[in-house]
Chain A
Amino acid sequence: MRKNRSLDRSCAVEASTYTILIIAVVFTSFPILWGLATSLKPLDQINVFPPTIFPKPALFDSYIKVLFRSNFRVYLFNSIFMTAFTVLASTVLASHAGYALARFKIPHRKNIMFVLLMMGMVPIVALLIPLYLLSVQTGLYNTRLVILLIYVSWRTPIMTWILYGFFTQAPIEIEEAARIDGCTPVATFYKIMLPISQPGLVSSALLSAVFVWNDFLIAFTFTTKEELRMVSVGLYNYITQYGIIWGELMAAAIVSIIPVIVLFIFTQRKFVSGLAAGAVKG
């Protein structure tokens, strides 16, 4: 009798678990699927009320327009270029800085770390006006260089912190053995530490890649030239036009999210471990 009751209860728990998770899945995927459906609809099925759910027939017209008859390809190239370069540069900088803080004997080490953490927490929105003034004064406004420098300065402190965490957790015995064998601290870093820290490097790099790919504020503030425009600003421009063409806008949005979603699905574990290692969104 008692056993039956507890069996009933665990069945109820099981059922409600799936129910709640399925509701969460619907809530999570609905806006994306709705956007996807819109992007595949012919024009006369988009601006109608009541709206239809499925495109009949599904057409790729909007995608063809976005990819071949607009500048969206230029935006995609710019975003890929900026993301790749920023991730590369800040990984190089942050891994060196993180290792120095983790293993070198440095005066004021604690203070330097504190300053870096604080700088990593300064929000971009508080820096836009002064950076704008500086970039105009130095003639760097509307160049790729200034955007790259700002992206790298924005990501490096946080990545330094994450990588510092990975380095301090690595077993010190290997490094000590290397030192006894006559390796200098610098050689130990390149020959021993960098190769074994690959998982940490990859996960912090992935995280930064998503932030740069998704950034709007910096891309919006420091470029006005069409040939430098990035994806997020390109998307925003669709809604400031007179009369939004929702089909094309949704197609462009879907194109822009495919790279991050694919990247996320294939690297989930690394991604999540990077996040759990103290990563912040900002």
Chain B
Amino acid sequence: MIELRDIEKRYDGRLAVGPLDIAVSSGGITALIGPSGCGKSTLLRIVAGIIRPDAGAVLFDGEPFDPDSSNADTFRHRMGYVIQEGGLFPHLTARRNIDLLARHLKRPADDIADRLETLRGLTDFPRDGLDRYPDELSGGQRQRVALMRALMLDPDVLLLDEPLGALDPVIRYDLQEELRSIFRSLDKTVLLVTHDIAEAGFFSNDIVLLNNGMVAQRGSLRDLVENSANDFVRKFVTASRTIDSALEGIVQC
């Protein structure tokens, strides 16, 4: 479905991402993970066509996607993109945020209304929230609106950059559950960026762990934990503190 071929991205002459090759198969969920600055968000933005790579190509079903070409928007319409905090337009109501593109593309009003209703059901979003502005919604509701906006044109691919990063833990926990069931019901190719190894494992069996812009290891959570390819991977997967280890620490004091 998506293929990144020999991708390189430099900032101030320094190689920030790549060279790397990643292929994501159709219908699967892939999680990009790594420490801050490892290039995972940059990589996702390259796929979304927001950043142009300095070398290499992004292919959709074998077709190269050039963000500056005249048909770039047709590629973008096949992708939904959700970022941390949602990236919602503050001057538009939830409804207008969601149907902005469809209306701009002059899709029939009935189709838009039907699609909106379907998505509202899918994300369990309250009907009266549709006419509120983003700053009148809770953080979780804003993420649901962002998700509905991304799914409006029924894209093949869903790109999510830390979609739950700004939420508090309880809401985040609930939304993780919901999001996973949505992903399963949709049957779309999902590429998700997170910094949380547990969240990556929760969503996906295909985790790509990046370090300094290169793939450190790719596999399931179990692979990464049990067959760590190197010290970096070992350290990264064990670095997160569990409740149990935290309690142990208190007892030992």
Q: A and B: real partners?
A: no
Residues of B within 8 A of A (CB): none
